[in-house]
Structure 1
Amino acid sequence: MFISGNYSSDNYNSDNLMSDYVEFLQSLLLIVSNFFLLPAVYLALKCKYLGEAFIYFLTMFCSSFYHLCDNDHMRYCIINYEVLQFCDFYSAILTLWVTAILMSDIPYEWRSVLHLTGSLFFAGLLRSKTTGAISFVVPAVCSLVLLGLSWVYQCYCMRIMPSSLSYSNLIPGAVLGVIGAVMFVSQVTIFGHLYGYTHSGWHICMSLSISFLLPKTLLNQYHCPQYFDTLDILPTSKFDI
């Protein structure tokens, strides 16, 4: 049964029925709103950001199954609840971090260093403070600092405009990000009783924000040379054996 309970006239009045349907709707929104990440997955694949596309898909997958496990009306847990919770929070943090690295357009050789460093640091932080606000504030601050330093260096030191600074995409992406951040904060402060709606709104705003903020081109895009072109020892003709 997706909706738990027996809704007979003996057990429930109209107010209880309405309350149950509202809770069911909120649970459904929490799951369905994760699919707004699909445009970001598609755009990342189209731009050949394969690692980022995988992280976005993983975030959508983990968050959907976490919220499916974290409710009373459609409860279904594919693995342990605590593991799902960690995967949901961790993948969301990684989504923020890899997007910031991509937007910063740093040299390709340094991206893997930042990916690994951030992954290890944020995993340890989240493990120690799984549900604490600091687990999300610190990655957000680190991402903003990385973006700011990179853009300042490119604009004032290298005298070039960062490829991700396209105002037609940056402005709507930033506005959606701010709205999403406000919803995220409000769900644990003044609108706690509307958690299902505010958290779903956060899912939608942040997912669409990523879709806008993804740079279409990068100055430091890696171009791998053909393998055989780099080996001088290979025969150049059928007689050179």
Structure 2
Amino acid sequence: MRLAASCETLLLSEMAVTRTMPIMLNEGTLYNNTLECGIDSKQVVRSNQTIIICMRLEEPGIPTWPDKCTYGRMELPAASVVNNTNEDTSTGLIHVPFPESGKWYVTMGLFCHGAETATKITIIDSVKDFIYKHVNLLDDVRAPCACKNQSKFYKICINDRDCLMGLNETETLKVKECLMDSKCTNSSDEIAKQFELHHKFATEQSVASDASCNASVVFTISSSPCVAGRCGKYGRCYHYMSGGFVFSTCLCIKGYRGWDCTEDSQVPSSFSILVALLLLTLSNLLFIPSIYFGIRRKYYTESVIYFFAMFFSIFYHACDSGEDEYGFCLVKIGVLQFCDFYCGLLAIWVTLIAMAHIRQTFVSLLHMFGAILLAFGTELNKQSLWVFLAPALTGLCLISVSWGWKCRRTGKWFPARKYLAVFLPIGMVLVMVGLVCYAFLQTRQNYHIVHSIWHMVMAMSILCLLPSNKSFLPKC
């Protein structure tokens, strides 16, 4: 749906004239809404004109020169700034993701520069002059500032007059906001005050009263999926249905973020992607000693499960962690993910059954019982902590009952003291470290490190906990 409002003429009165238009959005507006406002290019341009647009739910704003909006006692950046200097800046686009229902106020303020002074300075010219004078502050920009990764490029460009003049409005304002953001520099408040004084001095003679200044404005509202019907280069637009409503969103890749997948502040380098891929895949090779000793100790079923736990974990992370640069998917990633979690849980279960030293008849029964229930739990919620704790606690109960019964029947320690004093404590410590890493320490930033540690400690714990014929199993 696209609604176009009739063109209105905004007459200048002293410095600026504002018009406030309320827009009602009903509940159930699920697509992203876009507001477009443009200066009619067909009119005869007699002066440099700038429209400052404010947009807010339930509260009208007052456009404030040069690029702010005042809402009560708060002063916030304008939703859009439109001027008639060139085609790139003659249209303003305001993106409202999943707008709340209610009355939205759109306020426009027309500011005119006299024809004789229009060539002297514009808003963006003043901003460029300011960032040119304070370009050295880019050396002190720190993370998580949005322009941290591009600070060197911006400094080189700003020092080159031709490159500086070629910067578009978006990039210029991005650098200005970066210098004035408290997350970026320690002197953000002082820089903001300096900019206010600089801009007031630079433009106070430029914005003049002109009774003949007027502009025709085309005001349109449209509803579209994602951002204007598409996402950025590193995103895909997806649609979802729920309760009869259709939702849309952008799914980003390669670490890009934002509504349209253009925010690159957390994009990893190619080297870091490769390092994460190698850590998550090669850490699984520590299961090879577990497989070898399992075969030597005649635990053939357990060794097969250890092998497939290693196999599916390697190929799952090779598919999931390499992004589009190094990724390799043997089959669909959903299949690999299920097999990775399932074989990992099954490896824990069969190891606990082997430690319990139960009769072979019951071992086969418990293996099948665990295989079915673990498949159900993995499909139900594979990332739940209880999916890991349930087989672990059940296995510990079986071990306690089996070892206690053997101790009571023989009147001796079971299993051997060497196993109880050395291998069991080391194995239990490794398991606890792995569970703590998996459940509490993993974040998006350290996932490749912490999850690799989980792979390694679980593989090493099998070497300590898996029973040995000489030190664990009694002679029949």
Amino acid aligned to 1:58? F
Query: Where does residue 35 of structure 1 map in the other structure?
Result: 285
Query: Which aligned pairs between 1:21-60 and structure 2 lie closer than 5 A?
Result: 21-60=271-310
**Who wins on radius of gyration, i.e. which is larger?**
2
Q: How far 1:178 moved relative to its partner? A: 1.5
Displacement of 1:57: 0.5
Change (3 A) 1:112 1:21: same
Letter in 2 for 1:138: A
Amino acid at match of 2:308: L
Q: Structure 1 residues 150-159 or 59-68, which shifts more?
A: 150-159
User: Contact between 1:105 and 1:220, CA under 8 Å: does it hold in 2?
Assistant: no
Partner Cα distance (1:28, 1:80) in 2: 20
Determine which of 209, 215, 218 is the counterpart of 2:467: 215
**Cα shift at 1:148:** 2.2
Q: 1:126 aligns with which of 364, 375, 378?
A: 378
CA 1:18–1:70 in 2, change beyond 3 Å: closer, same or farther?
closer
Partner of 1:89: 341
What is the aligned partner in structure 2 of residue 174 from structure 1?
Answer: 428
SS in 2 for 1:193: coil
Equivalent pair of 2:403/2:415 in contact (CA under 8 Å): no
More helix by share: 1
Deviations 1:93-137 (A, max 9, x none): 010000000000111211001000111111112112233332222
Alignment correspondent of 2:84? none
Query: Is it true that 1:199 corresponds to 2:451 in the alignment?
Result: yes
**Which one of 356, 360, 376 corresponds to residue 108 of structure 1?**
360
Give the equivalent residue in structure 2 for 1:70.
320
**Residue 105 of structure 1 contacts residue 162 of structure 1 at CA under 8 Å; is this kept in 2?**
no
- Identity of counterpart residues, as a percentage? 33
Runs of 4+ in 1 over 4 A off after TM superposition: 15-18
The answer as to whether partners of 1:164 and 1:213 remain within 8 angstroms in 2 is: no
Partner of 1:137: 389
Residue type of the alignment partner of 1:63: S
Distance 1:169 1:69, change over 3 A: same
Distance in 2, matches of 1:164 and 1:96, equals 22
Which structure carries more relative contact order (alpha carbon 8 Å, separation 6+)?
1
Q: Distance in 2 between matches of 1:17 and 1:126?
A: 31
1:34–1:203 Cα contact (<8 Å) kept: yes
User: In structure 1, what is the Cα distance between the partners aligned to 2:283 and 2:266?
Assistant: 26
Please report how far the alpha carbon of residue 38 of structure 1 lies from its aligned counterpart in structure 2 after TM superposition: 0.6
Partners of 1:192 and 1:181 in 2: CA distance:
17
Instruction: Pick closer, same or farther for the CA change 1:176–1:29 going to 2, 3 Å.
Output: same
CA distance in 2, matches of 1:221, 1:136: 33
Deviation, 1:221, is: 8.3
Cα distance between partner residues in 1 of 2:311 and 2:450: 20
TM-score (norm 1): 0.78
Q: Which residue of structure 1 lines up, in the alignment, with residue 408 of structure 2?
A: 156
CA distance in 2, matches of 1:18, 1:122: 35
CA distance in 1, matches of 2:315, 2:371: 22
Asked whether the equivalents of residues 424 and 464 of structure 2 are also in contact (C-alpha less than 8 Å), the reply is yes
Measured in 2, the distance between the counterparts of 1:76 and 1:173 equals 33
Contact 1:40/1:211 (<8 A) preserved: yes
Secondary structure of 2:336's aligned partner: helix
**Secondary structure, in 3 states, of the residue corresponding to 2:448?**
helix
Structure 1 unmatched ranges of 5 or more = 1-9, 223-241
> Does 29-38 or 118-127 show the bigger shift?
118-127
What's the secondary structure of 1:78's corresponding residue? coil
Report which stretch shifted further, 137-146 or 153-162.
153-162
Deviations 1:27-86 (A, max 9, x none): 210000000001100000111111111010110001000101112142111111111111
Q: Which amino acid aligns with 2:306?
A: Y
Q: CA deviation at 1:22?
A: 2.3
The answer as to whether partners of 1:106 and 1:220 remain within 8 angstroms in 2 is no
Provide the rounded CA distance (Å) in 1 between the counterparts of 2:355 and 2:348.
Answer: 11
- 34-43 or 131-140: bigger deviation: 131-140
Contact 1:180 1:201 in 2 (8 A): yes
Aligned to 1:227: none
**In the aligned structure 2, how far is the partner of 1:219 from the partner of 1:173?**
18
**How far, CA to CA, are the matches of 2:380 and 2:474 in structure 1?**
35
Give the aligned residue type for 1:47: R
Contact 1:164 1:214 in 2 (8 A): no
Shift of 1:143: 2.0
AA aligned to 1:97 is W
TM-score, normalised with respect to structure 2: 0.41
